[in-house]
């Protein structure tokens, strides 16, 4: 059963807040973790693990090892997480007939050498969550309808699962808020973030379909494609938003939201 869905950032500042706005975000993320404490497994959609241009990825490696922090900033999490391989296999086998999707492992099929790295895209959300098995899914910049349909497929599959599952969307938003950042400044980043926060507060992500490709390119988010999956989930299982907050202490925007049943 799908027990809820969280939108969580993956910037270091979410863990180590430098200002009051980011401290509110930090507190809401801790509340989200407490709200999802009854989940038995997480499906974590992350843009910073395997990057495949043409396919979604489902990580099948048995052991998940925190390895790559952002800017060498240590975020304390457990040394090792386990993949919910039964659920990962079910998602992969169910999806491959309709979607471009690949299963990803490393070294051996199972056992101690079946290991895979976790990046800041996973480590930072996991910092706020109680430890549970994971299924990591990596998005790709597919057609919008295809990503929405994958979200609908995922919602229906998780609803029938014999365990309590929470979906975690690891996402940061516009990355061009500052001339000092690596992507420079673009006014579209601020506008993208403003509209995303409005959608999160209303619980209606349909406005994602109003963004043009040119606007998205200029705003430079990493959240858009994962949020399309979230839109598909909400089309199948309507949920109400809570704990929405936003902060932009550096060049990228971060937001929190919990969608409750």
The CATH number of the domain holding residue 177 is 3.40.830.10
DSSP H helical ranges for 129-258: 144-159, 187-202, 213-219, 224-236
Question: 111: buried, middle or exposed (CB in 10 Å: 19+, 13-18, 0-12)?
Answer: exposed
Across the chain, mean pLDDT equals: 98
Query: What whole-number percentage of the chain has pLDDT above 90?
Result: 100
Kindly report, residue by residue over 167-183, the tens digit of the pLDDT: 999 999 999 999 999 99
Domain that holds residue 111: 2-260
Check residue 180 and give its pLDDT: 95
Q: Report the pLDDT value the prediction gives residue 150, as an integer from 0 to 100.
A: 98
CA distance 98 to 207: 25
**CA pair distance 216, 144, nearest whole angstrom:** 13
Q: How many C-beta neighbours within 10 Å does residue 34 have?
A: 11
- Flag whether the pTM goes above 0.75: yes
Give the total number of structural domains in the chain: 1
Give the per-residue pLDDT at 241. 98
Q: For the residues 119-138, what does the mean pLDDT come to?
A: 98
Distance CA(201)–CA(242), nearest Å, equals 7
């Amino acid at each position: 059963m799908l027990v809820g869905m969280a939108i969580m950032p993956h910037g270091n500042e979410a863990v180590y807040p430098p200002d009051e706005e980011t401290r509110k975000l930090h507190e809401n993320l801790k509340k989200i973790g407490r709200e999802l404490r009854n989940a038995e497994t997480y499906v974590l959609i992350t843009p910073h693990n395997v990057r495949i241009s043409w396919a979604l990825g489902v990580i099948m490696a048995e052991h998940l090892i925190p390895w790559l922090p952002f800017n060498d900033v240590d975020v304390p999490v457990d040394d090792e997480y386990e993949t919910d391989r039964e659920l990962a296999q079910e998602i992969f086998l169910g999806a491959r007939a309709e979607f471009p999707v690949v299963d990803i492992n490393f070294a051996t099929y199972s056992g101690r050498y079946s290991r895979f790295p976790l990046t800041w895209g996973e480590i930072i959300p996991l910092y706020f969550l109680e430890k549970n098995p994971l299924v990591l899914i990596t998005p790709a910049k597919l057609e919008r309808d295809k990503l929405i349909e994958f979200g609908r497929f995922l919602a229906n599959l998780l609803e029938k699962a014999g365990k309590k599952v929470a979906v975690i969307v690891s996402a940061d938003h516009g990355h061009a808020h500052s001339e000092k950042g690596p992507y420079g400044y673009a006014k579209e980043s601020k506008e993208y973030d403003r509209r995303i926060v409005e959608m999160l507060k209303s619980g209606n992500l349909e406005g994602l379909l109003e963004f043009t490709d040119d606007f998205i390119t200029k705003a430079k988010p990493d959240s858009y494609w994962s949020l399309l999956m979230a839109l598909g989930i909400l089309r199948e299982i309507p949920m109400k938003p809570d704990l929405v907050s936003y902060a932009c202490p550096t060049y990228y925007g971060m937001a929190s939201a919990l969608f409750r049943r």
